[in-house]
Amino acid sequence: MANTTDHLSVHELSKELQEAIAGLRTEQGLEEAGVVTRVGDGVAWVYGLRSAGYNEVIEIEATDGGQITAFALNLLEDEIGAVVLGDDSRVSAGARVRLTGRLLDVPVGPEMVGRVVDPLGNPIDGKGPIRTKQRGLIERGAPGVMERKSVHEPLMTGLVAIDTMIPIGRGQRELIIGDRQTGKTAIAIDTMINQGRQKTGVINIYVAIGQKFSKIAALQERLKREGVMDQTIIVATSPSDPAALLYLAPYAGAAMGEYFRDNKGHALIIYDDLSKHAVAYRQMSLLLRRPPGREAYPGDVFYLHSRLLERSAKLSDELGAGSLTALPIIETQAGDISAYIPTNVISITDGQIFLETNLFYQGIRPAISVGLSVSRVGSAAQTKAVKSVSGSLRLDLAQFRELASFAQFSSDLDEETKQRIDRGQRLTELLKQKQYQPLSIAEQTVSVMAATEGAFDKVPVAKIKDAQAELISIIDRDHKKIADTLNTGDKPTDEIKDQVMKVAKKVADGFAAVSKVKA
């Protein structure tokens, strides 16, 4: 291998590692064979193969005369524990095993886009084989500090609540966390759809870990309908798949995303969800006789997710300035973010979007908790247009949440407190957003500007969404130049602000007049 002082990219190191393993084997005649001593629950114990490496692919003779692939995960002194990729009933004690000299890899490249594959890269969408020119290692080192650049380019989700208060940048890792059925996947899907609608050129990779194939098929159809499937890769596993495939799925997705990152492109990867991934790893670890730790998870479960999420990065200009952005999803039990796996992933990521069950059932969707959600990249990854209008938004909402409990005593409150409660109610209503309806930069900017600058203060709370829709419609129809300027992400000029506020006040007056007539 090259001298360690040489500056090698992660990709070159991975290639060298493969070549070094193969070279050593050839030099020293290490094509030795092993023998299966026992097998069960997807794990084969093999005696011999002392030179096997971690994650190395081995081939086991099947009872029907064929070959079954496995990979080495437990490296003990006299035997190795190998995870079988396939039907372990075809393996019996006494079967011969041989080393292949290669690490576990998957096909990568533009040919994968638009397809649904399993974690080994095999197509499962019935559209025929995928012929790729390259393969990527499932386990690969993350880029070093010198190979990275600070996160500064926005990755717009199209969701007003996120883009204004918890902005996500290309190369960031932003956790989506919350209880079951609170809209975690909905946020991820809307972000994928927005990449297509805004023509950002970002490739979406959706990793479904232990999800029903009916749900994956429905997602595929939805993405087709939205015109986004042709820039998306879905890596799918079902609950009936062996734990080994559920374990490999996120790493396979990361390898596919790294291809675009390393070739000056941009990719967004969604891990849905890493709670199931940790459970699959726990199952494998217990079968491999590894000692259980807290909540029966093995001691290296933190490393399991950290080495996965560290692969998401914004590369330096010298390496092409590509990026891989990760949106891992974690499911909590009764909102307990202090449990083992949630705290692990929170400490690895660059912020989290916390979804509250109470808000969800109140009809506030996306049900984002302003107090517990944070982006550690912050406004560095925000467009100037959105940043210029959303400065006071978080503060206004936080003040409203503090005062909300007093809203029922509105007659006894002073004018300033009343005004804050009224503004907060309107902002809460404005931030509600239906699924599959991401907004452009211009639509978000004019909506938030109208609300925070007070133009919508006279509009009844129940009519805020109607007023927002009318404002967006008028700007798109009659002020196309303003919309085009704002969509570039540039900070709006005073002239643009004045024009938007004039339109917003006119819209607000119309709704206020109607409410007076009805009253």
Active-site positions? 376
* Burial readout 29-68 (b: 16 or more C-beta within 10 A, e: otherwise): eeeeebbbeebeebbbbbebbeebbebbbbebbbeeeeeb
Residue type at 186 in one-letter notation: A
Omega of the bond prior to 460 within 30 degrees of 0, cis?
A: no
> End-to-end alpha-carbon separation of the chain, Å?
81
Residues in CB range of 117: below 8 A, 6 or more apart:
123, 124, 125, 130, 233, 234, 235, 236
**C-alpha to C-alpha distance for 428 and 400, rounded to whole angstroms:** 9
Across-strand partners of 271?
A: 207, 328
Measuring CA to CA, how many Å separate 488 from each of 154, 386, 452? Answer: 12, 11, 22
Across-strand partners of 80?
A: 46, 75
Query: What are the φ/ψ torsions at residue 45 (nearest 5 degrees)?
Result: -100, 125
CA dihedral 21, 26, 32, 36 (to 10 degrees): 40
Per residue, what are the HEC states of 451-499? HHCCCCCCCCHHHHHHHHHHHHHHHHHHCHHHHHHHHCCCCCCHHHHHH
**C-alpha to C-alpha distance for 254 and 251, rounded to whole angstroms:** 5
- Give the HSE-up count for residue 231: Cα atoms under 13 Å, Cβ half-sphere: 22
In terms of Cα–Cα distance, which of 107, 151, 158 is closest to 132?
107
**C-alpha to C-alpha distance for 481 and 466, rounded to whole angstroms:** 23
Residue 25, H or E segment: helix 10-28
Query: What are the φ/ψ torsions at residue 426 (nearest 5 degrees)?
Result: -70, -40
Across-strand partners of 329?
A: 176
Q: How many Cβ atoms are within 10 Å of 335's Cβ, its own excluded?
A: 18
List, as own/partner pairs, every contact residues 361-364 make where C-beta atoms lie below 8 angstroms and the sequence separation is at least 24, other chains included: 363/432, 364/428, 364/431, 364/432
Across-strand partners of 269?
A: 205, 326
